[in-house]
Amino acid sequence: MISGKKILLCVSGGIAVYKAAALTSKLVQAGAEVKVIMSHSAIEFVSPLTFQALSRNDVFFDTFDEKNSKVIAHIDLADWADLVLVAPATANVIGKLANGIADNMLTTTLLATTAKVWIAPAMNVHMYDNPAVQKNIQTLYNYGYEFIEPSEGFLACGYIGKGRLEEPEKILTLVSNYFEKREHGEPLKNVKVLITAGPTREKVDPVRYFTNHSSGKMGYAIAEQAAKLGANVTLITGPTSVDFPNYVHVIKVESADEMYQQVMNYYPNADVVIKSAAVADYRPIHTFEQKMKKSQDHLVIEMEKTTDILKELGMKKRQQILVGFAAETNDLEQYAKKKLQSKNLDLIVANNITTEGAGFGTDTNIVTIYDRNLTKTELPLLTKTEVARKLLEKVQSLVKGVKE
């Protein structure tokens, strides 16, 4: 989605300038056309030649150095950009921009552009928390500027706290998401989507628990793609090692009961519910506060059923669109259709987990989607991201039908 996009990178002075060089490289590798403006302080950290080599374009830092006599450089750059990134953004640049001060090439161009401007602060944690800096950030928020929040960690000054420039890889992902939204629009804008993902854990004692092989990758992919389509996404997830998606409200749970409680809490206000979590069907009747010791050759643990969350949702369904998953090892179509009808679903996504490329933990899936009329859509081997997009296309149609 970045290929061919024009990105103006404004680099102000701070130790994080080295990350701006890495960001330039990653943007260019992704196909973007990048032009760089540097403040004089930024030049003290990294030379313009570095950015020139990485961007393959002239670097601008002097308001009065007109490289092309046919245009005014700062106006031409301001008009050229599809997106402007200020990274790193110092407290000084943020303050100047908030107060309309244009005293160098960087701030002059920023005040002249009508493109979307993203600001990525980087500074000492106490500077970032200073009321004056926070007031300037709030002012820019009110003006319509967007911020890439700094991350927490070890700072160059020796402090540990919030103030590190976000990593170039994360910024690249955010930029890609931005252009994808612009390309495809936001068909799920203001739609509240509730998604469950991952496994649950049913405690036996402080050391042991029952669980399953679900990685959460499918549910996380759906959450990420739904957010890209403009949805307000809440993701209720069991324990996984997958990175949380961007722009998603995440609620972490462990047991089936915890997932049930959270799902039922959010369900009344949801427009769409996609239940991809692999929730335990049974849990131990008795659990132990202390670790069980080996005392015999055989151990019997009595189990009881957990609440069938999907069935409960189907019974309580009002306006919601309800999507379930059926991970089976045999008789896939029979079980999927039965689950679709018995649990009052609008769609069910069925896959045979014994098929190569379709099991737990993989980055791919092979699924068949059934609707209420038992019409099926068979998908070939796709990445889980692609499966998520195909599923959400069907969800969009259902949402549109409800609205009409």
Catalytic residues: 157
Amino acid (1-letter code) at residue 198: G
Residue whose pair of structure tokens reads 């949805």 in the numeric block: 231
| Closest to 32 measured CA to CA, from 51, 61, 55, 58 | 55
Q: How far apart are CA 295 and CA 261, in angstroms?
A: 36
Neighbours of 300 (CB within 10 A): 6
Angle (nearest 5°) at CA 40 between 6 and 83: 15
CA 212 to CA 201: how far, in whole Å? 8
The annotation status of 291 as a binding-site residue, yes or no, is yes
Q: Do the annotations mark residue 60 as ligand-binding?
A: no
Neighbours of 81 (CB within 10 A): 22
- Write down the residue that tokens 């319509």 correspond to: 144
Residue 339 assigned ligand-binding role: yes
Instruction: Give me 36's structure tokens.
Output: 């760089």
E strands, 146-213, in order: 146-147, 151-154, 160-164, 192-197, 202-203, 209-210
Give me the phi and psi of 124, to 5 degrees please. Answer: -60, 145
Annotated binding-site residue numbers: 281, 291, 325, 339, 343
The binding site for CTP consists of 281, 291, 325, 339, 343
